[in-house]
Amino acid sequence: MKRALLTMSVFLTAAAPVLAQEPAGVHVSAIASAEVTLSGDVEASLRPAADLEVEGPLPIGARSIALVSTRVRIFGIPGDTVDLTDPKTFRAAEVSLRAAYRVGRLSAGDQEVWTSVAGEWGFATVPGSNPSPAVRYPRHYAIGLRFEERIGGARLDLKAGRHESAGDRGYGQLLLEGKVPLKKVRSVTTLLGGDAVLSVGQASARARQRDVLRLWVGAAFSR
């Protein structure tokens, strides 16, 4: 049986020469958020969250060979708030480790589009009464392509792999993620984006799968 899960979030080539893996510095961003999950088997409720992402180069010798990043998303309980300086407000978390190797760059007017081979691995804690690690700590891994407009900040990731939140393995999952900047005022950027986990193949009585879709809009604080 295949189920659909909708989550809406609101948050405050190969032959080309080797390209330098910029940027040279470390980029840190934080997002304040509130998330609503809508599904036939989940009671809708607003839960707060806070994201922290660190992105920088992977240096070998005097040059960078790839761009690596870590994203931690911390959730609170409905009706509460999440304070990154107060661990008592933490109730659950998502962790993602990512790497990208740039294979193409195209400059068009005032835009610069990068194409990268990207991969990621991560896990999430899930608050609830079921103590099974497979349920409480779903993991994911995937590899694919990233298309990114570096000056404006728009990005689209298309990956294939495995995400345990989709249920049974089946033929694996497609992981899609994208974001578009709406407005930037000094160090605060308003973003519109989303991510999806789509199971490959048809569901059956022996393969219990579901699709996961999350949509969000919010404000990112960075330096």
Distance CA(126)–CA(92), nearest Å, equals 6
pTM of the model: 0.77
- The per-residue pLDDT for range 99-154, each reduced to its tens digit, is 999 999 998 888 889 999 999 999 988 654 444 444 557 889 999 999 999 777 89
What is the distance between the alpha carbons of residues 63 and 98, in angstroms, rounded to a whole number? 19
Alpha helices (H) along the chain: 133-136
What does the pLDDT read at residue 129? 45
Which distant-in-sequence residues (6+ apart) come within 8 Å of 161 by Cβ?
140, 141, 142, 143, 144, 172, 173, 175
pLDDT tens profile 151-208:
778 999 999 999 988 878 888 899 999 989 888 887 788 888 888 888 887 666 666 7
Counting every residue written for the chain, the total comes to: 223
With beta carbons less than 8 A apart as the criterion, state whether 120 and 159 touch.
yes
> How do the domains of the chain map onto residue ranges?
2-222
Tens of pLDDT, residue by residue over 35-92, are 665 544 455 566 677 788 999 998 888 888 899 999 998 877 666 666 666 777 777 8
The pairing of beta strand 27-38 with beta strand 209-222: antiparallel
Band of pLDDT at residue 2, cut at 50, 70 and 90: low
